[in-house]
Structure 1
Amino acid sequence: MVLHTCVDLDDAILAECRDVFGALHIRKDFEGSINDPEVDMICLATTEKLRLPVIALAAKAGKAVYVEKPLATTLEEMREIQRVVISAGIPFCVGHNRRASPAMLDAQQIFRQHMTHPQPCPWRWRREGDHLPALPDDGVPSVSVRINDDWYSWKGWVFDKSQAPHGPMLFEMTHFTDVCNWFLAEEPAEVTAVATGMLNLAVIVRYQSGALATIVLGNNGTMGYCKELYEFMGNGAYLAVDQMLEVRTVGIGGAAARTTYPVVHDRHPQIGVEGGVPGWLAKKRVACEEAVAHNDPVLQFTAEPDKGHAHALERFVDQMLGIGPEVCGVDAAVLATLVAFAAIQSARERRPVALAEVGF
């Protein structure tokens, strides 16, 4: 990939795009860049306030689009984006980057294999033996997602209702609804959500099979600890993805008990050499101490987990070239966004909301 053109309205940002990030060209109108014959793919990295005009013009020009999440701020705009993309048949990817994280890719493959072809766990305890009752939800999976975030770190636009009218229930939630849909590989049916404001959010998604996904966003937490923990249970087994630093399994035949994954931008390679969560926490403690010593909070960021940002772009290029699968297409993104809209309505009206109420 070559960064051909950067588009913005701010001269200082455009200069940074050119001088720091090496953009070959800069301009203030997206129309000209989309219609440039040298441009093959559009990366739409704005907030969700600007989506449809850029996507529609790219579709008309037959250009591939990678767009940040969430897909849209309204159901109507989302429907139109889906129609435009499908009609034009352009390669399209939404930035649910967890789908491209090495840890998440491995975990999803392990979990799907276990759910579709479960192997009996030889040491599983059947207390009642042959007298065990038959239950309709035997083997049906459940998912727990815990998000620990610190809202002090958020950019100012997230508090602006004109930019982000639904808050984190949309701009953050779609990451996690998408992960649940991807791992469970079935249709969500109903959503129940509770929000005590902008910071403490809880969502329960019921799927057609009876599978449940519980997502808790605690935004009064700390960046000094792991942000994301995903726990999957089904068919007598357990799988955890902890901060995309390690994957742990129990009761899944042939799967490693624990697999650790490399970090990116590691300033302290000599610390935490054991890897995984313990190694990352050791690096983080040193980085936080440096941040205090230099009065620079940004220094706390070191050895970040690989959440798949770069891999998502690389995999999308493979998709465009016809040598790789779809990364996160418009239909998958629409489904994740529908669940988020159902959660928004549920929290507002204080009742369960069926997907059919917000669907097409």
Structure 2
Amino acid sequence: MVSAYSSFSNGGTRVEPVSILEVKDQNGKTLFERKPTTGKRVLSEEVAFLVNSVLSDNNARLVTFGPNSLINIAGHTLAVKTGTTNDQRDNWTVGWTNGTVVVGVWVGNNDNTAMQKVASGVSGAAPIWRRIFLEALRNHTDPSFLPPSGVEQATVDTVSGYPAHDGFAERQDLFIRGTLPTGEDPIHAKLKVCRSSGKLATQAQIANGDYDEKEYFIFKASDLLAEDARTFWQKGIDEWSSGNSDERYHPPAELCEGSENLVVRVNTPHDHDTLSSNDVTMDIDVFSDSSIEWVKILVNDVVKDTLTTPPYSTTMYLDDGQYTLKFRARNAAGQEGESGEVHIGVIVPWEEATPTPSPTPQPTPTP
């Protein structure tokens, strides 16, 4: 195990351990000398550095070990990992510097029976490990773990590790270049909720701006797990979350019942547009929590076309003139919605010319 951990100390290169470095005869003649070897690369420099960075960060282990544990040697840079096997049969502490020293200590019973008074690596192996390591530091340096060129720093959300957003608490973290999570944060989010019940706002309410935004934590078992394992982990996550009184741990899962469940929005043309072409492009968005069955295009109150699949966009030829457009949609739940009227002019101005008043005849004076 110590040999395996030495790969982190060596920046991702594993060197086979040796016990004999040199052999000399009684006259001081060198009979054997171990030559330095480059070893075998088993981890990238970037991965090794990130592990070293985490395991050398005393702040990262404060909750479990406290600020002044036996594995923290003030004034020195070293990474440490503790571990305990089932039933307290084995207890480890392994620590290392950047390329100069690796020390591992095992505590346990020779007959593999469970230990009675050792709770963790800190209380079992760590006291012995610390005494050995302090002695090793008398003759060895402990240079800092420096990031390789393939590691970059980014400002991330404190909870999720995604890029910082929405003014939530943030921190600096290190990433292998190209591995910073992208896209919308699925863990720490502002959810759009309806104002009345706090349930998830419908698409129609969101389109109308009729919602509030609230902060929530959304913890889901990984999709990479098999279904049984994912169900098992999700059960544990849900039980843990349910015991937390903080409202943020209880995101809504149901949609609220909005008063308007289907919204039709016209992107083009705009009301009062004067168009310079007879080919009129019409683009519509429909917001609904049910699938859309159709979108009808009405020109001067006459249905001219019906769209059944998104995107709801088409180009229609219209003669020169003034037109009133409306767009009507229906979803699978039988609900219908209609846009407001869109008044356009094709080649001609959209508005009707204001008639010029006829002059009022003046009475002729009687002689």
- Indicate the TM-score class for this superposition, using the shorter chain for normalisation: under 0.3
TM-score (norm 1): 0.19
TM-score (norm 2): 0.19
Q: Which has the higher contact order (CA 8 A, sep 6+)?
A: 1
* Higher share in strand: 2
* Higher share in helix: 1
Max radius of gyration: which structure? 2
